[in-house]
Amino acid sequence: MNLTISGHHLEVTPALREYVLTKLDRVTRHFDQVVDVNVILSVEKQKEKDRRQKAEVTLHVKGKDIFVETSHEDLYAAIDQLMDKLDRQVVKHKDRVQEHHHESLKRHDSGWDAVQ
């Protein structure tokens, strides 16, 4: 898995990097076929005091790119919300990939015989 963590208008400290890595472990535990992860942490120059810290991630898995972004007044809270959203989308993608398996005809036939 290739991981890139970058900052826009802020310096990515080792503490921030470690925090993102620990949060990403939860996502990779659900779905291990992650190819590439790009995380961008930024500070927006807005007049509003709230929702200035922004975190976004692009997760490349086999056959699909998943993009999530969140904004919050606290960067750590934005990262938490980001990983929650990403986790839900990864689990949904994993369910979609695994739902392609259909029941065999033998199961349908045996159930049909019991009904008649």
Q: Is residue 79 part of a domain?
A: yes
In a domain, 57, yes or no: yes
3-state secondary structure of 32: coil
Instruction: Return the half-sphere exposure (C-beta side, CA atoms, 13 A cut-off) of residue 51.
Output: 5
Residue 69 in any domain: the answer is: yes
Tell me the mean pLDDT per 10 residues along the chain, length 116.
90 93 87 87 75 89 90 92 93 81 56 55
CA end-to-end distance (rounded Å), the chain: 53
**Which tokens hold the place of 86?**
């990403």
Domain residues for the domain of 49 are 2-100
- With beta carbons less than 8 A apart as the criterion, state whether 42 and 54 touch: yes
- Does the pTM of the predicted model rise above 0.85? no
In a domain, 20, yes or no: yes
Cβ burial of 69 (10 Å; 0-12, 13-18, 19+) is middle
